[in-house]
């Protein structure tokens, strides 16, 4: 992809009213744009990162046996009245009446909708277990949107729902999802902490949150200095006391962002909505459910919040919008024709090898190109300049390292492949 044919509206200055470094960098690097408070557009670079995050999530969900679908965000309030959550979530639901005067809402979550769907098609234990998931937009009327896309009114979530015949089945499904989540966050290069948590408005008796320590976190995690003990909000007053697990280390608090939450719902929704099945004896029973959420857009913000320096974003390779950025440092002079030709050759060859390549073909100063390259944070940069090229060299630099290396121009492609394979 050529920069001049793409859409990357970078900003030099930090936008006013932005607290979080992730919010600042997402706006400055042209990944997102705020339409109004809590509502954001995802621009081409941001969308590419989102799609890479989704690819990792889909891979692990599919591996765990979940099947993807897509549910409507437009939902009748009558469905929510069956569970009573029209009142529980009243403060955050975006409600209205349609042209037929029917009370509707934009879905803040999908437990009621998925339960209604499954009860229409699953009637026998032979159809269980079942695990369905989607990646979709949710809507919540946040009174105080904060930190850009971390707490927004419109956000992207992966939500999965398991359906089993008994608690033993639910526990198996829950453990599959727990392990899948650990693998997902590992691939996303996020060092999460999984802790038991309150189920809140979702219901059920067991849940786990997946937290990543970050300065803009709105939750508290307590950790032991000596062992692997980690706790959540209920231990938040225990800072400085002896660890209850090892009886040796002391507890300390850190703030964290919640990125995922999994729940053993049991029969809360199937009882309320009469989602029943016939067991092996022909007896009718409520389906046993679990649900599993990841804030996909929040993950994007968390990655930027953690992976950055004073110059900009440092993308983990698996989620980066491009693998390689080529920087030709030249004007339009005839003596720079070799720079342009070499840039095009590298672009074509690297693209043919399967790499996602961005070439900065703008007629801009070297300083502007370097600053923008550091800001958007592509993992590997190839700089082709007049001075080095006189010696038959080009510079290859990883975004995460301070210095680049000079290589013979004929060996650049093989060196790039070697670096990225590592």
Domains of the chain: 8-221+254-309 (3.30.930.10), 324-421 (3.40.50.800)
Mean pLDDT of 157-174: 98
Tell me: the pLDDT tens digits for 83-113? Answer: 999 999 999 999 999 999 999 999 999 999 9
Tell me: the pLDDT tens digits for 36-89? Answer: 999 999 999 999 999 999 999 999 999 999 999 999 999 999 999 999 999 999
Query: What is the structure's pLDDT at 335?
Result: 57
pLDDT at 233 over 60: no
Query: What is the structure's pLDDT at 386?
Result: 92
Q: Is the pTM of this model over 0.85?
A: yes
Query: What is the structure's pLDDT at 196?
Result: 82
Query: What is the structure's pLDDT at 49?
Result: 98
Cβ atoms of 380 and 392 within 8 Å: the answer is: no
Residue 113 DSSP SS3: helix
pLDDT at 295 over 70: yes
CA dist., res. 220 & res. 232, Å (int): 6
Which pLDDT band holds residue 133 (cuts at 50, 70, 90)?
very high
Cβ atoms of 248 and 264 within 8 Å: the answer is: no
Query: What is the structure's pLDDT at 226?
Result: 86
- The number of helices, as runs of H, and strands, as runs of E, in the chain is 12, 23
A 10 A CB-CB count for 36 gives 8
Mean pLDDT of 396-403: 95
Query: What is the structure's pLDDT at 336?
Result: 83
Query: What is the structure's pLDDT at 223?
Result: 83
pLDDT at 422 over 80: no
Which pLDDT band holds residue 235 (cuts at 50, 70, 90)?
low
- Residue 76 tokens read as 């009748």
CA dist., res. 380 & res. 311, Å (int): 15
Cβ atoms of 27 and 306 within 8 Å: the answer is: no
Query: What is the structure's pLDDT at 237?
Result: 57
More confident residue, 139 or 202: 139
Query: What is the structure's pLDDT at 240?
Result: 75
pLDDT at 286 over 80: yes
Mean pLDDT of 227-248: 73
- Residues of 248-277 as b/e, b for ≥16 C-beta within 10 angstroms? eeebebbebbbbbbbbbbbbbbbebbebbb
Which pLDDT band holds residue 421 (cuts at 50, 70, 90)?
confident
Query: What is the structure's pLDDT at 251?
Result: 87
How many Cα atoms sit within 13 Å of 336 on the Cβ side?
14
Average pLDDT, the chain: 93
pLDDT at 250 over 90: no
- Residue 86 tokens read as 């029209």
- Helix or strand run (H / E) with residue 323: none
Place of tokens 């709105």: 218
* Among 68, 48, 50, CA closest to 58: 68
Query: What is the structure's pLDDT at 228?
Result: 76
Mean pLDDT of 300-325: 97
């Amino acid at each position: 992809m050529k920069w001049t044919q793409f859409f990357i509206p970078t900003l030099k200055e930090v936008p006013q009213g932005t607290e979080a470094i992730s919010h600042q960098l997402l706006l400055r690097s042209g990944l997102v744009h705020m339409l109004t408070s809590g509502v954001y557009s995802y621009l081409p670079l941001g969308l590419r990162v989102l799609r890479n995050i989704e690819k990792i999530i889909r891979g692990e969900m599919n591996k765990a046996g979940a099947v993807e679908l897509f549910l409507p965000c437009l939902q009748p309030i009558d469905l929510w009245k069956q569970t009573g959550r029209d009142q529980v979530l009243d403060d955050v639901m975006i409600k209205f009446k349609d042209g037929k005067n029917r009370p509707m809402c934009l879905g803040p979550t999908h437990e009621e909708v998925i339960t209604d769907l499954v009860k229409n098609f699953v009637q026998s234990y032979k159809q269980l277990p079942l695990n369905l998931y989607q990646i979709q937009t949710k809507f919540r009327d946040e009174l105080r949107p904060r930190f850009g896309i971390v707490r927004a009114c419109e956000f992207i979530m992966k939500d999965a729902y398991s359906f089993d015949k008994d608690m033993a089945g639910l526990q198996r499904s829950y453990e599959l999802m727990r392990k899948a989540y650990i693998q997902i966050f590992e691939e996303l290069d996020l060092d999460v902490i999984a802790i038991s948590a309150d189920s809140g408005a979702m219901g059920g008796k067991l849940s786990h949150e997946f937290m990543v320590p970050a300065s803009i976190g709105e939750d508290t995690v307590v950790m032991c200095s000596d062992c692997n003990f980690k706790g959540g909000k209920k231990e938040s007053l225990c800072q400085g006391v002896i660890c209850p697990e090892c009886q040796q280390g002391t507890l300390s608090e850190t703030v964290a962002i919640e990125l995922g939450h999994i729940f053993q719902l049991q029969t809360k929704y199937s009882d309320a909505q009469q989602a029943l099945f016939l067991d092996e004896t022909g007896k009718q029973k409520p389906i046993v459910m679990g649900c599993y959420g990841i804030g996909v857009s929040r993950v994007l913000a968390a990655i930027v919040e953690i992976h950055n320096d004073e110059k900009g974003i440092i993308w983990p390779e698996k989620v980066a919008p491009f693998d390689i950025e080529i920087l030709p440092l030249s004007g339009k002079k005839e003596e720079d024709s070799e720079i342009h030709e070499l840039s095009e050759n590298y672009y074509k060859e690297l693209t043919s090898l399967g790499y996602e390549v961005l070439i900065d073909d703008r007629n801009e100063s070297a300083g502007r190109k370097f600053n923008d390259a550091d800001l958007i944070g592509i993992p590997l940069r190839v700089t082709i300049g007049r001075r080095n090229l006189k010696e038959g060299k080009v510079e290859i630099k990883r975004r995460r390292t301070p210095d680049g290396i000079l290589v013979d121009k004929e060996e650049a492609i093989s060196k790039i492949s070697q670096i990225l394979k590592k």
